[in-house]
Each structure stands twice: as C-alpha cells, then as structure tokens.
Amino acid sequence: MLMDNLAVLVLAGFVGFAVISKVPNTLHTPLMSGTNAIHGIVVLGGFIVLGAGADGVLNKILLVVAIAFGTINVVGGFLVTDRMLGMFKAKAPRSPEGSR
C-alpha cells in the first residue's frame, strides 16, 4: 500500500511539473491561486478523520476548525481565481471586433 502510494506520489509530481512548465507570464497569478485552491483538498482529510468517529470535545473542535479552514481554502481559492480570470473571459470575444 505504501509503495503503491509512493509510486502515485512520484508520478503526480512529474505530471504537475509537465503541465505547469508551459504557462505564460500573464497567467502566473491566476495559476498560483488555482493551484492554491486545489490543495484545499485537505478538507477531505478532515472529513475522513472526523467521520471515522473522532470523539472528545477538543478533537471535534479542532476538526471542525480544520474543515472550515479547508473549505475556505477551496471555495475562496476557486472564486478568487474565477474573478481574476473573468477579465480574460470578457476580453476574448471582444478582441476580434476591436482589431477591425
């Protein structure tokens, strides 16, 4: 199980490397924000540990805070990225007309 997971880990690293190495300067800020949203996936860790029946008040409080943090990371991250990219969206259909 560990070895399978390590194999996945290494391959995912190379995939990340290959996909990202071709980004134009302009998109660096949205890209950072987008990848930032993706690591919010840790919220799943919170679901699993809390869902597996963590008991005790402190454990529960810590995990609820962790899930709230993870959710902020995911929801906020994707929304902010979308707002940044909204500018490119408005731009694309207009530019062919503008160049007439």
**Which positions from 52 through 91 interact with another protein, judged by CB under 8 A?**
52-54, 56, 58-60, 62-89, 91
Q: How far is CA 62 from CA 42, 55, 68, 77, in A?
A: 14, 11, 10, 22
Residue numbers 2-61 binding another protein by CB under 8 A: 2, 5-6, 8-9, 12-17, 19-54, 56, 58-60
- Selection from 46, 44, 45, 34 nearest residue 76 by Cα: 34
**Rule CB under 8 A: is residue 95 a binding residue for another protein?**
yes
**Rule CB under 8 A: is residue 96 a binding residue for another protein?**
no
Minimum Å distance from CB 18 to another protein? 9
Chain position carrying tokens 């190379």: 14
